[in-house]
Structure 1
Amino acid sequence: MPPIAPENPAPYRDASAHLAGVDADWAWLVATVGPCTHAPKPAREPYEALIRAVAYQQLHVRAADAMVARFLALFPEAPFPTPQQILATAPEALRACGFSTRKVATIQALAAGAASGLVPGREEALALEDDALVARLTALPGIGRWTVEMFLIYTLERLDILPVDDFGVRDGYRRLKSLPAAPGRRELAAAGDALRPYRTIAAWYLWRVPKDKTPAATA
């Protein structure tokens, strides 16, 4: 699908209107949160986007920011290192940036995949279907479905991705629907059918469900 230009928010307006029409809960959420300001980063190459996603896994943003900054400082001659530069870097140097042993192995696998063509370039990735990219990239060690879904959302600007394993999405849906517990992945996937073809924007809103949502708001 073609990139969405920041100056053309029409798809987001259409998505918000669609979601507001799903039911009273979604109408309340869209009205409460307001217009969607989803901000993808389409200029990044897939391997860079995936490496950044790996860096931020299970870390607070500030800690991950510092770790990525130390990583980039290893390669001052370029905005982001090439796969070959990463492969030529000793694992100990990557560990010194703060990456765990598992993350170092994943970063090296991504660099090797980019060098071999397993990790597609941007133009090839844009031409591939979501499921094909998920299958291809999750074959790499340390790359799970969630990481690929974040790549689809933020780098390829896909509008119909619902990351059902994401804690924030699941907990947001629990609060939105006043459920006693977060839904399972199958339950949330089924609920997502009504949100098509804008499940990415639905996830954006679910990440922002107010924590103090009151019963009166759901009436």
Structure 2
Amino acid sequence: MAAIPRGFDTVAAARHLVRKDPTLKPWIRKLGPLEAPISWKQSFDTADALARSILYQQLSGKAAATIVGRVETAIGGPRLSGAALDSVSDEVLRACGVSGAKTRALRDLVARQAAGEIPSYRQLVHLSDDVIIDRLTAVRGIGRWTAEMLLMFRLGRPDVLPADDLGVRKGAQRVDGAEVMLTPKQLIARSEAWGPYRTYAAMMLWRIADLQL
């Protein structure tokens, strides 16, 4: 498969959603277009990205950043590659504040990268969304949501909908003026009009959910 371009035209995405979804249209016009994340242009190490996702799980941003900083100091650099993580013991990771469950997840990540099961950045750009999700969620501690975030914010894939995300569901509820949030299955059905720009729709719904009205 040829390399899949990273990122997409956010202006075209906004126009598409305005045209296809009358209820979303006034929100987009009110809030204005979203800028393309700078991360779409940056290369990255897949193991590093997944390791950081594991370390940030179920923690506040500040607490997680502190632990990540300690791990970076322990491995002697800012890149949490498989080889770097493999150079420190479980005891060192625990001393950095990494829980036992997260330590086991990191060890599984390291083992899978060593076995060639974790696609590199150069490999990821040739893989479909579904294949990437299947490959990444095989790692202990990596769920579908984490894989979707990598697709959206690292690879810039245009048609990803994190249907389980509370913020996306809350944004859709506000747009529709509904009393209750849609279930993930209902949200997927609701999103048919947004394709092939579900990523942009999700980014807009997060923004709408965060608005103080």
Equivalent in the alignment of 2:119: 120
Equivalent in the alignment of 1:74: 74
Q: CA separation in 2, counterparts of 1:124 and 1:203?
A: 26
Q: CA separation in 2, counterparts of 1:82 and 1:157?
A: 22
Structure 2 matches for 1:25-64, cutoff 5 A?
A: 25-39=23-37, 41=39, 42-64=42-64
Count how many residue pairs are aligned between Structure 1 and Structure 2.
Answer: 207
Contact 1:46 1:151 in 2 (8 A): no
Q: CA separation in 1, counterparts of 2:145 and 2:184?
A: 12
Q: CA deviation at 1:80?
A: 0.5
**1:181–1:96 distance in 2 versus 1, CA, 3 Å:** farther
Q: CA separation in 1, counterparts of 2:95 and 2:46?
A: 24
Deviations 1:127-171 (A, max 9, x none): 111111111221221111111111111222111100001111111
Structure 2 matches for 1:28-177, cutoff 5 A?
A: 28-39=26-37, 41=39, 42-76=42-76, 78-177=77-176
Gaps of 5+ in 2: none
Equivalent in the alignment of 2:20: 22
Does residue 3 of the first structure (1) align with residue 16 of the second (2)?
no
Q: CA separation in 2, counterparts of 1:97 and 1:30?
A: 43
**1:212–1:81 distance in 2 versus 1, CA, 3 Å:** closer
TM-score, normalised by the number of residues in structure 1: 0.87
**1:171–1:125 distance in 2 versus 1, CA, 3 Å:** same
Gaps of 5+ in 1: 5-9, 214-219
Q: CA separation in 1, counterparts of 2:69 and 2:36?
A: 24
**3-state secondary structure, aligned to 1:64:** helix
Equivalent in the alignment of 2:198: 199
Contact 2:21 2:193 in 1 (8 A): no
Q: CA deviation at 1:206?
A: 0.6
Contact 1:86 1:111 in 2 (8 A): yes
Moved over 6 A (4+): none
Deviations 1:98-154 (A, max 9, x none): 222211211221122222110111111111111111112212211111111111112
Contact 1:72 1:80 in 2 (8 A): yes
**3-state secondary structure, aligned to 1:21:** helix
| CA RMSD across the alignment | 1.7
Q: CA deviation at 1:62?
A: 2.0
Identity of aligned residues (%): 35
Q: CA deviation at 1:212?
A: 4.4
Q: CA deviation at 1:2?
A: 1.6
Equivalent in the alignment of 1:7: none
Q: CA separation in 1, counterparts of 2:117 and 2:181?
A: 36
User: Which is further off, 149-158 or 80-89?
Assistant: 80-89
Q: CA deviation at 1:204?
A: 0.6
Amino acid of the structure 1 residue aligned with 2:15:
A
TM-score, normalised by the number of residues in structure 2: 0.89
